[in-house]
Amino acid sequence: MIDFIQHNKEELLTKTMEHLSISLLSLLAAVIIAVPLGILLTHTKRTAKIVLSLTSVLQTVPSLAILAMMIPFFGIGTLPAVIALFLYVLLPILNNTYLGVKAVDPTAIQAGRAMGMTSDQLLRLVEFPLAIPVIMSGIRLSAVYAISWATLASYIGAGGLGDFIFNGLNLYQPELIIAGAVIVTLLALIIDGILALVERWVTPTGLTINKGER
């Protein structure tokens, strides 16, 4: 195995970078869309039910089916893979953002209002900081999903470590499968660890949420 890695280290590095770019682009897009949308949905209960139901339905569709549906619209390659992964990792971030903001202790909001805070100030200084731990847990879950499911991007020509895994299956070469699977697992653990540190760094000290409403 060590000999295999030494002889293929350049290709492994290339495929790892492809895998990371697909995963992180889809995750970044999901964060940019899901966090503001989740906050907005806390103010529109009926719309929130509809949107969260629709995103829940998306997660019931097999990932390969979503990848296949992207091909007629976007062809093959990185773009359809990123869009498909974006749709798949959207729900945990959206759901946790919505639940995190809704679970903020009402007494904290009342205290902010008593101090004369506007709605925008309450969101920026009270609700969002209190919801950060829940939001970050959704982002961490989505990051693991993105890195795991990015292996399937190989089926539509997007590259990544899935090339090693599926080539190994097709050619009956266990070293290809093991190398791809091990690196994917390590990437998921590393990214989750980094995001755990980010969560600890961005969470205000002493702030809590009403955990019973998660």
Query: What domain range is 155 assigned to?
Result: 2-213
**Distance of alpha carbon 73 from its chain centroid, rounded?**
23
pTM exceeds 0.85, yes or no: yes
Count of structural domains within the chain: 1
C-alpha closest to that of 33 among 110, 104, 85: 85
> What pLDDT was estimated at residue 211?
41
Residue type, 191: I
What are the residues whose beta carbons fall under 8 Å from the beta carbon of 63, sequence distance 6 or more? 84, 88, 149, 152
CB atoms within 10 A of CB 193: 11
Q: Distance between CA 123 and CA 137 in Å, rounded?
A: 19
Position of tokens 């731990």?
A: 133
**Is there a contact between 163 and 176 (Cβ–Cβ < 8 Å)?**
no
Q: What is the token pair recorded at 118?
A: 């506007």
Give the CATH number, domain containing residue 128.
Answer: 1.10.3720.10
> Judging by beta carbons within 10 Å of its beta carbon (0-12, 13-18, 19+), is residue 79 exposed, middle or buried?
middle
Position of tokens 């629709």?
A: 54
- In a 13 Å sphere around the CA of 208, the CA atoms on its Cβ side amount to 6
pLDDT digits (tens, 9 = 90+) for 98-157: 999 998 888 888 888 888 888 888 888 888 888 999 999 999 999 999 999 999 888 888
Q: What is the token pair recorded at 78?
A: 């990185």
pLDDT digits (tens, 9 = 90+) for 4-17: 677 778 888 999 99
pLDDT above 80 for 2: no
